[in-house]
Homo-oligomer: A and B are copies of this chain.
Amino acid sequence: MSRESVDAIAALRVNAAYYAALADGDLAAMDAIWARDEPVLCIHPGGAPLQGRVAVMASFRSVFEGGGPPIEYSQDAVSLVRGIAFVNCLEHLADQSLAVSNVLVWEGGQWRMLQHVASLMSTGSAVPAPERGPLH
């Protein structure tokens, strides 16, 4: 398997770990996923851009107060550009779908989240959640 394929698979695994941490409401796991040495950015649906680790982690702390949201994802795809992994996928909540860009950077021997941007899809664009069991 090529180095690029290995990197791409590893990036998709971290993308999966992001959704597991989110669904679990696991703040420690979420903290471990985000980059430490680079300027992170997070845009939650409906929200303004959150810049920097302090603001981003505070937003997840707030989200997790009610427990992790019942979220699933599908159609994950990854491109490697100049050593950065660009993942896009769909997120599925109870009756909403979101279009997502997750950007991962190689840091400390693993892929870590540099950017997460989620955009609510209009009803006409929404797609049903995948037919499968819970994430884990």
**A residues engaging B (CB < 8 A)?**
38-39, 41, 43, 45-49, 51, 77, 79, 81-84, 86, 88-90, 99-101, 103, 105, 114-115, 117-122, 125, 127
Contact = CB atoms under 8 A, between A and B. Distances in A.
Enumerate the 7 nearest inter-chain pairs by beta-carbon distance, A residue then B residue, closest first. A46-B122, A119-B119, A39-B79, A49-B88, A117-B117, A43-B99, A101-B117
A97 B68 CA distance: 27
Nearest to A38: B81
Contacts of A118: 119
Contact of A48 (B82, B84, B86, B99): B99
Contacts of A103: 86, 103
A49 B84 CA distance: 19
A120 B120 contact: yes
B88 A51 contact: yes
